[in-house]
Chains A and B, each alone.
Chain A
Amino acid sequence: MTRKPFAALSLAPAIALLAMLAIVSVGGAIWLALMNRTLRSPDAEFVGAYNFLRLLRDRRFFNALEISVIWELFTVAGTILLAVTLAILIFETVKKPIWRNLLCFAFLVPVLLPRVAAAFIWRFLYSPSLGVINYLLGLVGIGPVEFLADPSLALVSVAVVDIWQWGLFFTVILLKLLETLPRDPIEAAMLDNARTWEIHAYVTLPMLKGPIISLVLVKAVESLRSFDLIFVMTGGGPGTATETLDLYAYQMGINMGGRISYASAMSILLLVVTTIAFTIIWKAGRRWAN
């Protein structure tokens, strides 16, 4: 066997499978979105753009869209800010390698947790009657705070869990990257009597611009998978205060009468928006990084 057939043979099965699954899911979603199929009966007829037009008049859809955008911005910004702050804090204050390694191990634990597990852990902590957080707040005379039942707090409370998982993980990555930076520019800045924060703001962070942009992109993709966390913590409630697009599509397609065609139209829209957004971010990210 020569090189070319071998390469083709080892590549073909994987790519064929991926292409099949991608075509079936995207094609299937488009096909369903143009029908009026429900989960209850297999009969359906072609309705054209009806489902999409109805989406434009659906207030709950626009609410979900708004919640999704807020969730995306809040979790991405929160994660990156926390990671940058903590990485610099640890870099400056924790000098002993053993302490640093211990911290890194501790910081990797939350991101490895299944979302369902993280959700339960924090529901337990947030609980108004027996949660530790409300006990501590009670000691200073606040509360009890209904973290997950108060519409104005619920989304932030869930986002905190997401930032807890990913922010600490990104802290480890940034800390490792800070350690690999060449010392010369930092020492030159120190000779110029630059303050610690100035060194980081003007020397180290600009040197890490490329990796930080990559992390923003990774987190932005990851934040779209908010379903597991929100589903277990609040189920989209109270009311629709934490209902993101994937939760609404799930509720429509499966829970509430199985209006699967309508849910498909929504997921198509989600797919189009994310594809456009990520192509733009991807291209722009490449340009900034260089």
Chain B
Amino acid sequence: MGKLIGHAAMRIIPAVLVVVALGPIFWTVLGAFKELRDIVTPIPKLVFEPTIDNFVTILRNPTIRDGLLNSVVVVSATVLIGALLGIPAAHALARYARRWGDDIQFFVLSLRFMPPVAIAIPFIVIYLDLGIYDTLFGLVLVYLTTSVSTIIWLAVPAFESVPRDIEEAAAMEGCPPWEVFWRFSLPIAAPSLFGALVFTFVLVWNELLLALTLAAQNATLPVVAASITSLGKEVPWGVINAATVLLVLPPLVFIGLLMGLLNSMVRSGPK
């Protein structure tokens, strides 16, 4: 009897856990395809006639379209510039910096401790005075704190795991340091570096507070989504659900990559 219950538990536990993890998201996705009258029912409906009206509404809405475009521009600029600055810096930290390396790495990490509010508030005033308040340029500049520090933090271990022998052999052959970096270290570290860029992409795509305070009008998608609470009289739950789905899709594309990153981090040994 006890064994029977044990067997049943083994079947049920994974199923329950998957429902806990994914159920709320699944329900929102369903809601995105419902008409409002299918949402406002006393008994939640699992079977209904799907509609794409909610997606049409949000994609026709100029504010949401602008938000989406701003998000794409800001996030790609931030990740790209972050990579251009952060990856060479991480390589230098992993390979050359002996005396100052640890201090610099601690400084980089400590930037991630900073409460975002403490960054946002002084920057509002500075941006107002400089005339770059509410511009995408200003937003990218602040986001570079996040992207450069995150990329350095994740890319240093990636370069440390590149075998030294290869770099030394190349240097012996007379390769200048930049060529060693470009032709040998970078391609070998590339898979882990890509993971670091994806992680940074997700962080910046998801960010709300800085975008809300520094670019209220030229806002990114999270700010726009956060501001839909009412269109007309009723809370437009279908539209909110559709906007949520739109916001959620880009980070989820990279889930497989995150899993791989996690596996390689765990395999390289608990810290």
Q: Do A and B come from one complex?
A: yes
Spell out A's residues near B (CB within 8 Å): 1-4, 6-8, 10-11, 13-15, 17-19, 21-22, 24-29, 31-32, 37, 39, 42, 86, 89-90, 93-95, 99, 102-110, 112-117, 119-122, 124-125, 129-130, 132, 135, 164, 168, 172-173, 176-177, 180, 208, 210-211, 214, 221, 224-225, 227-228, 231-232, 245-246, 249-250, 253-254, 260, 263-264, 267-268, 270-271, 274-275, 278, 289
* 9 shortest interchain CB distances as A-B pairs: A28-B122, A10-B88, A7-B96, A14-B89, A114-B206, A267-B118, A6-B177, A228-B208, A14-B85
Q: Are B123 and A28 in contact (CB under 8 A)?
A: yes
Q: Within the complex, which residue of B24, B97, B129, B202 is in contact with A121, where a contact is CB–CB below 8 Å?
A: B24
B31 at the interface (CB under 8 A from A): yes
Residue B58, interface by CB 8 Å: no
9 A-B pairs with C-beta separation under 8 A: A3-B177, A17-B144, A90-B14, A105-B259, A107-B21, A116-B206, A168-B20, A232-B226, A254-B213
Interface residue? B56 (CB, 8 A)? no
A273's nearest neighbour on chain B, judged by CB, is B115
Whose C-beta in chain B lies nearest to the C-beta of A13?
B85
Please indicate the chain A residues that have their CB under 8 angstroms from the CB of B39 in the complex: 130
Which of B18, B120, B255 has the most CB atoms of chain A within a 10 A radius of its CB? B120
Residue of A13, A27, A113, A116 with most partner-chain B CB within 10 A:
A116
Q: Are A11 and B122 in contact (CB under 8 A)?
A: no
Closest B residue to A211 by beta carbon equals B270
List the A residue with the shortest CB-CB distance to B104: A15
B190 at the interface (CB under 8 A from A): no
Q: Which of B124-150 contact A (CB under 8 A)?
A: 124-126, 128-129, 141-142, 144-145, 148-149
Neighbour of B21 across the interface among A1, A106, A224, A270, CB < 8 A:
A106
Instruction: Pick the residue among A29, A116, A214, A274 that contacts B226 (CB under 8 A).
Output: A116
With beta carbons under 8 angstroms apart, the residue of A39, A119, A270 that contacts B115 is A270
Q: Which residues of B contact A228 (CB under 8 A)?
A: 206-209, 222
The complex places the Cα of A168 from the Cα of B25 at a distance, in Å, of 14
Contact of B206 with A177 in the complex, beta carbons under 8 Å:
no
Shortest CB-to-CB span from A22 to chain B, Å, is: 6
In the complex the two chains form, is A120's CB within 8 Å of B244's CB? yes
Can you list, as one digit per residue, whether each of B203-237 has a CB less than 8 Å from chain A (1) or not (0)? 00111110011000000001001100000000001
Smallest CB-CB separation from B41: which chain A residue?
A: A130
Contacts of B22 in A (CB 8 A): 106, 109
On chain B, the number of residues with a Cβ less than 8 Å from chain A's Cβ atoms is: 92
- Across the interface, do A21 and B222 meet the contact criterion of CB distance under 8 Å? no
Chain B, Cβ-Cβ closest to A19: B107
B73 contacts A by Cβ under 8 Å: no
Residue B3, interface by CB 8 Å: no
Which residues of A are found within 8 Å of B141, using beta-carbon distances? 21
Does B166 make an interface contact (CB < 8 A)? no
Query: When the two chains form the complex, which single residue of B96, B144, B270 contacts A208, counting CB atoms closer than 8 Å?
Result: B270
| Chain B residues within 8 Å of A224, by CB | 115
Q: Which residues of B contact A211 (CB under 8 A)?
A: 270-271
Please tell me if B192 contacts chain A, counting CB pairs below 8 Å.
no
Most buried by A among B9, B126, B266: B266
Q: A107-B21, A125-B24, A211-B271 are in contact. List 13 more A-B contacts (CB 8 A).
A: A7-B92, A7-B177, A10-B88, A14-B152, A18-B107, A25-B123, A110-B25, A120-B28, A124-B27, A225-B116, A225-B209, A232-B226, A260-B121
Q: How far is the CA of A86 from the CA of B13 in the complex (A)?
A: 10
Q: Which residues of chain A have C-beta atoms less than 8 A from B177's C-beta?
A: 1-3, 6-7
Known: A116-B222, A271-B115. A93 touches B10 (CB 8 A): yes
- Nearest-CB distance from B4 to chain A (Å)? 15
A270-B113 CB under 8 A given contacts A109-B252, A121-B24, A124-B28: no
Contacting residues, chain B, for A6 (C-beta < 8 A): 92, 96, 176-178, 181
Q: How far is the CA of A84 from the CA of B85 in the complex (A)?
A: 38
CB-defined contacts of A107 to chain B, threshold 8 Å: 17, 21
